[in-house]
Amino acid sequence: MALNCKHVWKQISDYIDGTVSPELREEIEIHLAGCRHCSAVLDSTRNILVLVADDRTFNLPVGYSERLHKKLEQAMKE
């Protein structure tokens, strides 16, 4: 089964953290290779995580994932 964009977005922080299964990782990579929208999402998520890491804290701000998901869902509707 091919992943759709919403599935990828739900998994994207786990994907960056490397906590997804190898099978899922491969599926996500296949999707990202063919979907410009999701690779843009991956890039911006990575940038946010780099900023957070620079602050020497690995905890995302409270509500971060929730806000990200809301933003993504809104982008999906447009």
| 41 lies in the binding site for Zn ion (CB under 5 A) | no
Find the binder of Zn ion among 12, 28, 38, 42 (CB under 5 A): 38
The mark string for 1-30 relative to Zn ion (x by CB under 5 A, - otherwise) is: ----x-------------------------
In the complex, minimum distance from the CB of residue 73 to Zn ion, in angstroms, rounded to a whole number: 14
| 49 lies in the binding site for Zn ion (CB under 5 A) | no
Short-list 75, 72, 74, CA closest to 10: 72
Tell me, by CB under 5 A, how many residues bind Zn ion: 3
Q: Which residues bind Zn ion (CB under 5 A)?
A: 5, 35, 38
